[in-house]
Amino acid sequence: MQTLPKVDKAGLLDKIKNGKYMLFFTAGWCPDCTFIKPAMPEIEADYPDYTFLKVDRDENIDLARDLNVFGIPSFIAFQDGKELGRFVNKDRKTKQQVEKFIDELPVAAD
């Protein structure tokens, strides 16, 4: 999984303007993030059409605010720079819940 460097919203949208991306908002101090972290390589392998980007919420606090991410771990899916869906709250998430979220995302027209 790639780690997104510190970036503002415009920089993020430029980076993700082509293709499918899954943003994974996390922080080192977050116990619920630590809970889902071991499942992330498998989730990433199960959805190879997405490029997964790990976003350190603390390093990218302005970006998190601009995207209305006020709880972690959280996930936001994009295709060609447009948001497809979000699983954003402060609750602990299981592998099954994350996969259900991804499975239920709309398919954007190419």
HEC sequence for 5-70: CCCCHHHHHHHCCCCEEEEEEECCCCHHHHHHHHHHHHHHHHCCCCEEEEEECCCCHHHHHHCCCC
> Which residue among 27, 33, 53, 84 is the active-site one?
33
> Which residue among 30, 40, 67, 88 is the active-site one?
30
30 is catalytic: yes
- By annotation, the residues acting in catalysis are 30, 33
